[in-house]
Every structure is written in structure tokens, then in C-alpha cells.
A and B are shown apart, each in its own frame.
Chain A
Amino acid sequence: MTAVSPMAGGGAGPQNVFMDQFNLEARTQRVWDINHAIWFTLMGVGGGVFLAGRILNLTEGLGYVLGIPTVDVVSFLAIAVGGAILVADLGRPLQAWRAFVNVRTSWISWGAWSDLIFLVMAGLLVLPALSLGGSEPFSGLGWDPHGGDGGGLALEIIAGVAAVVVMTYAGAVLARPRAIPYWNSPAVPLQFLLSSAAMSVAVVMLIEVIAGEPVTAGQMVLLGLLTAALTVAVVVHLLARTDAPGKKESLDRLLRGQYRSMFVWGVFASGTVAPAVLAFAGAVVGVSGARDALAVICCVLLVPGGFWLRLLTLRVGIFPPVHIPSVSGPRMAAP
């Protein structure tokens, strides 16, 4: 019989990111990991698909589930599942409602509100179209579920704005504090927004292909522009403040260390550059079947790429040492 020390087995990480380590090294954050990467991705796709469906005017005609457009169903499911993971990952899920409290300064509170507002507003918006066993119990609600009248449009705009926040806030949560230099940059929420948008357009195109509708060259141009912008955002972020304590270690980890191949190939090459190239290629290719195939490939590359982008961003979140010693020599005072 031996007391189980928390260190025994070594499986679990420390409860704290680096104070428990008793040394001065730069510390990788281990607070948030794969669960957060999943819900970051799902939120991005969820908000994005709702918007993309509307911007590309593809809500109708791509199939319905219970009378609700497939695109919107995908959006709601992504947000709902993402939200569930978010809540489950809290230390005290039953207290999740308190996440709404600190809207004054907390991006997580903004995120909570935006998720809620989005789900409520977008849900209300499509509610009149809900078809259960042949009847449409909410058809009497006084607005057009396609946003064709004032009420519907208002709901659509509010939901759309909320969706933009949903797509962005995870990045903003990371970017606001100065603690982790790699995160502390507008490039992070920008990457998350662009990645979400690109993933969403690709997902919508996938739904389009599944529904047997042809992907248009314009859609491919849009996808190409988004992925190209994402590529630029990633590159700019990699090139900024490369010598800053903490950021340097993050870049080492990404470009030279353990995450090199996952980042270079999974995120950068196949998650941003390749989809951009394929999307522009799809825009100029004359054969619609080939374009559809390229769109599907883009989607298959982009969604995992977006997930890896978020996961690696979390995993290379490194706190620099709390103190950088000012002198190089030890306290030796030999006369």
C-alpha cells in the first residue's frame, strides 16, 4: 500500500502551467488542448456555414432536414456539439451559466453570449420552416424563415453578426492577454476567422456536391481568396517578433521541433497553400465534374487543416520565463 502521489504514473500533467515546476524555463501551456481545438473548430464551422450559406445564396436547394435547410442544420449541429464540448470541458459544467457574467472584459463571456444569441436568433429564424410529420407547427410565426421580410431579415442580421463573433472569439480569447507572446497578436483571431470562413465555404460546397448541385467558379474564387488570405495571415504571424522570449520557443516548436511536420505539412501545405492552389485551379478548370472533385478535396484538406491550426496554436502556447536574468555570470566576487 503506497500513497499515490500525483506524480506517480506520470500520466497526468501538473495542475498548473509552470509554477509547479520550480524552475525558470519557458513553459508550454497545458491548460487547453484537444477539446478546445475541437470546439474552436466546430464553432468556426458552425458560424461560418450559416453565413456562407447565405452569402453564397445556397441555403435553399441543397436539401432539407425536417424542413430546415441542410446548411443551417449543419451549422446548428456544429455549434451545439461544440458548445457541449466546451461546457463539458469546464471544471464545473453545472455552473456554465456564469460564463455570461463578465461581458465587460472577458472574451469568453462574449463568446458565450454570441453562441447563445446565434442559436436563439438563427433558430427562431428557421423555426417557421420546421416540418414535423408533415405539419409546420410554427408556420404561423410572423416572419419569413428565409429572411425575406423585415422580421426575418432582422433575425438573420442579428444571427449573422453573432456568427461572426462565434467564428472569431476563440482567437480573441487567446490573443488578448500578453502572457503567451505567440498568442498575443491580432493575427491569431484573424487566422481563426479566415480559417473558419474557408472551412465553411468548403463545407457548403461539399454539401452542394452531395446535393448534386454544381460548384461554381465564383465559389471557388471566394474559397481561393480566403485560403490565400489565411496563408498570408499565417506567414505574417510567423515572421513577426521572432526573437521575443516565448514566441521564439513557439516558433522553434512549430518550425523545427516536434510539431514541424504536422505544422508544415498538415497546417501550412495541405491546410492552406494546397487548398488555395486547388481552389484557384478549380475556378479556371472548365469541367464542372473536376471542379466538384477539387471542391471536395479542398474541404477534405481544409477542415482537418483548420483543426490542426487551432490545436497547434494551443500547443505552442509558451509562457516565457518569469524572469530573464540580467547578467551572464554567476554571483562570483573573487577579488
Chain B
Amino acid sequence: MTRWGMVIDAARCVGCQACTVACKTENQSPLDAWYAPVIEWEEGEFPDATLNYLPVLCNHCEDAPCVTACPSGALTRRDDGIVMADEDVCIGSRACMTACPYGALHFFEDRGTVAVEGAPAEAVPSVPERYAHQRHVRGAVSKCTYCAHKIDFGLENGLEVGVHPLATPACVVTCPAECRIFGDLDDPDSNVSQYLAEHGGGEALRPDAKTLPSTQYVGLP
């Protein structure tokens, strides 16, 4: 079996937010929804103070509380471990959003964000917003899919997943610090398994939630 997973080496992250934006443009997410942001926090007191960075995204949990909570069956976990949201099926109950400890689900609430003040109603200000409205269903929940469409494209076209830019999640491709590695967690020889082995295993965020995530962290601050 294949279980796609991502290893994030937080110690390498430089906080540039390239992943945040690459994800947004790849997935054309609603303008104010960020599937894969880099969060940051201050630590210490001046002059011994610093800023820490931590890239976060859907953890694609084996025991995914969002899938459990979803009444409509819109949220499902594929055989390869990717948790998908079918926006056409979603009813917008947002139960998943309260169930996910990582805040990985995003409700596309149309609050007039396409409008431009003073412009004709049909004016669409930008490509990202136009495509967000074409690609996503208003009133439904969307999420990070590990760029499943790219993985599937890669598998169909014989491209190496996790290596070829068209067969690898956008956040991984763009990262200048190479702090993200994507591959098959079930394959002990894969890049992710090897990296985890070299670093004494990975850590999960919110381990108390016991969700068994496929997103694993190394070098957490």
C-alpha cells in the first residue's frame, strides 16, 4: 500500500511564506483561505528573543476527526491516505472545522469578496478570485489535498511523485529551504521514511488529539 505523507523539517524553515502562496495559486483557494500557511511566534525576552516559524497544513490523519464528524460523506480518506473534500457533496455544516485540531478546513463563505467598490458588478478584479469562484463551491468546505490532482497526474504520466514539479505538492516544489519532503510513508526506502529514520522519527502536532497524522515534523522548536 501507499500512504502519502509529508515530512516538514521545521528547523530549516525561513518563514518566507512561499508555500503559503504557491498553495493558494495551485489550488486557487478562496482569497482569504490559506490551506498551508507558515505560522510564527515570538520566544524569549530582548535581547535573547527570536521568532519561530512552523509550516502547517492538513495532517491527512489516519483517524481523521473531520471525516468522522462529516454528516454528508463529503470528507473521505482515500486508500493512499489523502483526506479529500468533495465540495459538491458538502452541505456546509462545518462540523469538520470544529473537529479538526489543526484548523485545516476552510469554509468558503461568500461575503462579497469578489466585489470591487465602485466597479460594475460584473467586474472581476483578479484571476485568483475569479478561479476561486469557478473552482470552489460557495458554502462548502475545502482543504489541502496534498495536491492530489498533481499526484494523480504524476502517476498517470509516469512522473516521480515527490520529485517532479508536476507530481509534487506545490508547497514542496516552491520551498527554497527544502524543508518539506513528500513521499510514501509505507515504503521504508522512500525519501520520507529515510529522512524520518535519519532524524530519529517524526513528531505529530497536537499529539493529544491522537489523529495519527501523515504530516510529520522534524526539528520542531
Chain A residues with a Cβ under 8 A of chain B: 1-7, 12, 14-25, 27, 29, 31-32, 90-93, 95-96, 98-102, 105-109, 112, 173-174, 176-181, 183, 244-245, 317, 319-320, 322-323, 325-327, 329-332
Contacts and interface: CB of A to CB of B under 8 A. Distances in A.
A330 B49 contact: yes
Given A1-B117, A4-B116, A322-B102, A330 B48 contact: yes
Given A320-B206, A322-B205, A15 B52 contact: no
Contacts of B48: 329-330, 332
Interface in B89-104: 89-95, 97-104
Nearest to A100: B71
A278 to B, nearest CB: 35
Contacts of A96: 91
Interface string B103-128: 11111110111011111000001100
A1 B111 CA distance: 18
Contact of A95 (B90, B106, B210): B90
Interface in B48-70: 48-50, 52, 54, 56, 65, 67-70
Contact of A180 (B35, B98, B108, B140): B98
A99 B94 CA distance: 12
Contacts of A23: 39-41
B211 to A, nearest CB: 8
A323 B54 contact: yes
A93 B206 CA distance: 33
B43 interface: yes
A102 B221 contact: no
B165 interface: no
Interface in B123-141: 125-126, 137-141
Contacts of A91: 90-94, 107-109, 138-141
B101 A322 contact: yes
B94 A179 contact: no
24 contacts: A1-B119, A3-B117, A4-B116, A15-B33, A16-B33, A19-B103, A20-B37, A29-B97, A90-B91, A91-B90, A91-B92, A91-B107, A95-B92, A98-B74, A105-B67, A105-B69, A106-B95, A109-B71, A173-B98, A178-B65, A178-B211, A322-B56, A329-B48, A332-B48
Contacts of B119: 1
Contact of B50 (A4, A20, A183, A330): A330
A316 to B, nearest CB: 13
Nearest to B51: A330
B32 interface: yes
B218 to A, nearest CB: 13
Interface residues of B, number: 71
A7 B34 CA distance: 14
B73 interface: yes
Contacts of A17: 97-98, 103
A105 B67 CA distance: 8
Contacts of A332: 44, 48, 50
B116 A3 contact: yes
Contacts of B81: none
Contacts of B44: 329-330, 332
Given A4-B112, A331-B50, A322 B103 contact: yes
Contact of A99 (B33, B67, B72, B118): B72
A114 to B, nearest CB: 12
B31 interface: yes
Contacts of A20: 32-34, 37
Contacts of A176: 65, 68-69, 99
B208 interface: yes
B139 A106 contact: no
B205 A29 contact: no
A3 B115 CA distance: 7
B68 A31 contact: no
Contacts of A112: 71
B221 A331 contact: yes
B40 A24 contact: yes
A179 B92 contact: no
A19 B37 contact: yes
Contact of B73 (A92, A101, A317, A325): A101
